[in-house]
Every structure is written in C-alpha cells, then in structure tokens.
C-alpha cells in the first residue's frame, strides 16, 4: 500500500503530491493525534495479554504521537509498569537479531571514544566514555552492553525526536548504570525525567555540535537570496508552506535558495513541480547534494534561514546557519528542535505558520540586526558543548564515588561524529574496530 501511495511517477503530479502533503500535515493535528494515540493504547492493552513485545511497541508508538497532556502522562505510567515484564520477555529478542556488515560499517562511522578507560590488569580503574550517534539498535545487537557499561560511560545521541522507543528503553535493563541521552526537545527531556530510570537526559543535540570552522561568515559575499531552506526533498520538510507564503507575498523580486537531497519519497523534480504549480518557480534556485562548504556559501548568500517542519530529529541546519552569521526562523509548534537556542533579536525567532509571509518580508530589511554567530560560539560550539557534557559525566561519576581524572575530548557533527578540531585529540584512543572486537556479543562473532 505504501509503495502504491508513494509511486514516484504519481508524486511528480503536483496536485497528488500536494494532497499527500496536506494529509501529512493533518496527521499532526492535536485531535487526530489524540484519537490515534487512544486507539493504539487500546490495542496495546489487548495485545499485551498474549504478545508482550507487540503490546509494548504499540504503547510506545501511542506515546510518541502525543508527548504531552493527560493521556501522555498516563501512557508514561503504563510504560513504567510494563517495563519489568518487557525486560523479562523481550530483551533477548532485541539482542539476538543478526548484524550485517553494512550495519557494522555505519556503526563504526557514528561512534566515537571520547575518553579511553584506564585499566589495572583486567580491572577498570577509571571508566572511558563512548558516544553513539543514532545506531542504537545496532549497538544492542552488536555489543555486549553489560560488559561495555563496566568499562565505559555510554552517551547516546538519538537521531529522531520521540524517545518512547523500545531500543532506547532497553538500557533501563541496567538500573545501576547511568546512561546519558541527548534530548534537545523539552518533550523528550520530560519523558526521560518522568520515566525515573537510569536514563539521564542532557539538553545537548545536533544543534550543539556544528563545526564553526566549516560554517562561518565569508568575506565579500553578497546577499543573493532573501531566504534559504536547507532540507531534503521529502514531504516532512513542508516546502509547500514556503511556496504558499511566497505566493501571498506577490513579489517576484523575492529570491529563495533551496538546498536538499533525495530522501524517503522526495525528489528534486517533485519539489520543482510544486513550485511551478504555486507560480513561484522563477523565484527559487535549487541546489542538490552540496558539500558542507557549498552549503556554507549559500547560507552566506542568504538573509534568513528557515525550517518549516512539524517534527525534527534535532535539526542541525538552522544552527549551521547561525555559525555562518544567518538568523533562523522556526515554526513554533515544531517538535524536536531546542527552542531555547532562539534568542529574540540575536539568533532568530519562533513564529506561527500564518506569520510566515510577513516574517519573510520583515527579515528582508532587518537581518543585519541579528548576531547569531557570536552567541553560537559562546553557547553551542564544540568546545562549549563538550564542557557541558564533560561536567555532567563528571558529576555522575562523583555521585557514585568513581574517579574522574581525565576529561573527554571535543567532537563535532559534520555530518557524522568527528573529533574536533581533528583526530589528533584522540591519539592513542581505542579504535571502534578494537572496541567491537573486545565487546562483541559471542553469538554475533563471525
């Protein structure tokens, strides 16, 4: 059914594509979400009686639809109640599925040792720190997490908003081992706090690990575009909202840059066809698959940086723009982006969707009044974020009476986790191949 709906040929027809985009937007209406969450919660109770794993998955999905409100609070209470049974019956299923070589490759790319453990013989004297960006499911299947947690503090950087995930809740199996989870969205931090488990939330996220040496102001670069949006071509990014706003402006001199790449069902042709249907195609320059330096150039050529999605997995592009000196505009009801980073008059603003046309017009003349890079360097640079994470881990270690004599090294996301400013900061650290060889599950060994 999904393959039929997302037929590439059909999606190139603007009206069909637009209908699916409107349907997607409607799925985020509060009434629709409450109704669907209630239905899934009912099914979860029914399935729990004879299929614990499936019942728990339905329960988690129900909570991810809401995140707040009375029903969401009730769902968290049920999750806590069902966790022990889920631990007993379903954890082995998460651990035992095979891991492909492709999955192992991506795991190596998205994991970093931020601090090596210190051993005396076979005993760990001071724990190391291992960071995993996404790939949580692969971590569970590939490595013996119990052994890993004896030697490393684990820091998880999930790739999406909505933390009621069986794979993330897996780590509650180890109640005496704190696991730090980056949670830039308030709703996810609240979920982790309400869970009252060993999952310790950090407000850090993708926005806090931009490389300021790549994304930076460029001298003598003129402002070619009144606005820019860096987003893949799928319907999640809601390009049609921007096109509608441009049509409302009725100003053919207003120029926009769209930077993206194919993902999920979306292609460049689909978005171009939509722009044509709205009558704004000639106002837009499209860029596809640009390297980071190319993205930085387009950002420098732009006056304001937009994000119009309703849900994000800790978006990075708005903050790359901040480091490039470009203020940001975000839809206020977005879920996933850390809204605390939006400082009025400094970094950008939060708006209602209905305010977009007037906001675009305002920033055309007032973008110079903002100074986002200076704020970003002080608060969300790799150095600043590393200090926040280090202080949190140090506090956790001290609370358990464990030593902390060496701090973690900095990292950035570009787009995968990388040592900052380069790999020399981790000279002599265990490689991910060595970590995998040492902690790999016995039944996952070749």
State residue 236 phi and psi, 5-degree precision.
Answer: -55, -35
Tell me: pLDDT of 63 over 80: yes
In this prediction, residue 257 carries a pLDDT of 98
Domain boundaries, the chain: 20-95, 98-209+381-444, 227-379
Cβ burial, residue 98 (10 Å; 0-12/13-18/19+): exposed
In this prediction, residue 6 carries a pLDDT of 83
In this prediction, residue 250 carries a pLDDT of 95
Tell me: pLDDT of 421 over 90: yes
3 state SS of 236? helix
pLDDT digits (tens, 9 = 90+) for 21-31: 999 999 999 89
Q: Please give the angle made by the CA atoms of 148, 150 and 153, to the nearest 5 degrees.
A: 75
In this prediction, residue 444 carries a pLDDT of 67
Helix, strand, coil % over all residues of the chain, rounded to 5 = 50, 15, 30
Q: What is the mean pLDDT of residues 54-72?
A: 91
In this prediction, residue 96 carries a pLDDT of 87
Mean of the per-residue pLDDT values for the chain?
94
Residues linked to residue 440 through DSSP beta bridges, in sequence order = 143
Cβ burial, residue 16 (10 Å; 0-12/13-18/19+): middle
Tell me: pLDDT of 259 over 80: yes
pLDDT digits (tens, 9 = 90+) for 274-305: 999 999 999 999 999 999 999 999 999 999 99
In this prediction, residue 4 carries a pLDDT of 66
Which of the four pLDDT bands, split at 50, 70 and 90, describes residue 37? Answer: very high
pLDDT digits (tens, 9 = 90+) for 174-224: 999 999 999 999 999 999 999 999 999 999 998 999 999 999 999 999 999
In this prediction, residue 445 carries a pLDDT of 63
- Residue 283 CB: number of other CB atoms within 10 A? 20
Q: What is the mean pLDDT of residues 300-316?
A: 92
- Verdict on whether the full-model pTM lies above 0.75: yes
Q: Taking each helix axis from N to C terminus, what angle separates 14-26 and 268-278, rounded to the nearest 10 degrees?
A: 100
In the block, which residue shows the tokens 């013996």? 144
Own/partner long-range contacts of 77-80 (Cβ < 8 Å, ≥24 apart): 78/41, 78/44, 79/164, 79/169, 79/195, 80/195, 80/196
With respect to CATH, is domain 227-379 assigned 3.30.160.270? Answer: no
Tell me: pLDDT of 446 over 70: no
Higher-pLDDT residue of 160, 445: 160
Q: What is the mean pLDDT of residues 232-253?
A: 96
In this prediction, residue 159 carries a pLDDT of 79
Higher-pLDDT residue of 336, 300: 300
8 A C-beta contact, residue 63 and residue 33: no
In angstroms, rounded to a whole number, what is the distance separating the alpha carbons of residues 118 and 397? 14
Which of the four pLDDT bands, split at 50, 70 and 90, describes residue 429? Answer: very high
């Amino acid at each position: 059914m999904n393959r039929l709906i997302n037929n590439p040929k059909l999606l190139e027809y603007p009206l069909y594509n637009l209908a699916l985009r409107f349907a997607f937007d409607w799925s985020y209406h509060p009434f629709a979400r409450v109704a669907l969450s209630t239905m899934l919660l009912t099914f979860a109770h029914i399935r729990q009686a004879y299929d614990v794993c499936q019942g728990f998955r339905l329960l988690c999905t129900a909570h991810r639809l809401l995140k707040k409100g009375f029903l969401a609070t009730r769902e968290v209470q049920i999750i806590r109640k069902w966790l022990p049974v889920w631990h007993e019956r379903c954890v082995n299923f998460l651990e035992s599925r095979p891991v492909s070589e492709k999955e192992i490759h991506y795991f190596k790319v998205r994991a970093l040792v931020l601090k090596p453990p210190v051993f005396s013989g076979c005993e760990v004297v001071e724990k190391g720190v291992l960071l995993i960006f996404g790939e949580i499911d692969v971590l569970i299947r590939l490595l013996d997490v119990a052994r890993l947690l004896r030697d490393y503090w684990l820091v998880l950087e999930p790739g999406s908003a909505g933390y009621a995930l069986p794979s993330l809740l897996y780590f509650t199996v180890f109640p005496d081992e704190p696991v730090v989870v980056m949670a830039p969205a308030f709703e996810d931090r609240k979920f982790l706090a309400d869970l009252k488990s060993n999952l310790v939330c950090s407000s850090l996220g993708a926005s806090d690990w931009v490389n300021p040496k790549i994304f930076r102001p460029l001298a003598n670069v003129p402002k070619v575009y009144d606005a820019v949006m860096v987003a893949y071509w799928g319907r999640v990014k809601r390009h049609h909202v921007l096109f509608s706003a441009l049509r409302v402006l009725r100003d053919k001199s207003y120029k926009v840059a769209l930077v993206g790449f194919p993902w999920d069902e979306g292609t460049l042709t689909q978005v171009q066809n939509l722009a044509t249907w709205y009558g704004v195609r000639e106002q837009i320059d499209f860029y596809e698959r640009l390297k980071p330096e190319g993205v930085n150039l387009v950002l420098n050529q732009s006056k304001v940086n937009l994000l119009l999605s309703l849900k994000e997995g800790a978006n990075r592009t708005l903050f790359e723009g901040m480091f490039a000196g470009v203020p940001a505009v975000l839809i206020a009801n977005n879920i996933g982006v850390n809204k605390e980073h939006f400082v009025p008059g400094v970094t950008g603003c939060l708006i209602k969707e209905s305010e977009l046309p007037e906001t675009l017009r305002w920033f055309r003349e007032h973008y110079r009044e903002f100074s986002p890079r200076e704020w970003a360097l002080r608060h969300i640079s790799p150095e600043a974020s590393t200090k926040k994470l280090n202080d949190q881990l140090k506090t956790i270690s001290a609370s358990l009476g464990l030593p902390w004599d060496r701090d973690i090294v900095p990292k950035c996301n570009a787009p995968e986790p990388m040592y900052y400013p380069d790999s020399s900061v981790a000279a002599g650290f265990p490689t991910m191949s060595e970590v995998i060889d040492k902690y790999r599950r016995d039944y996952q060994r070749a």
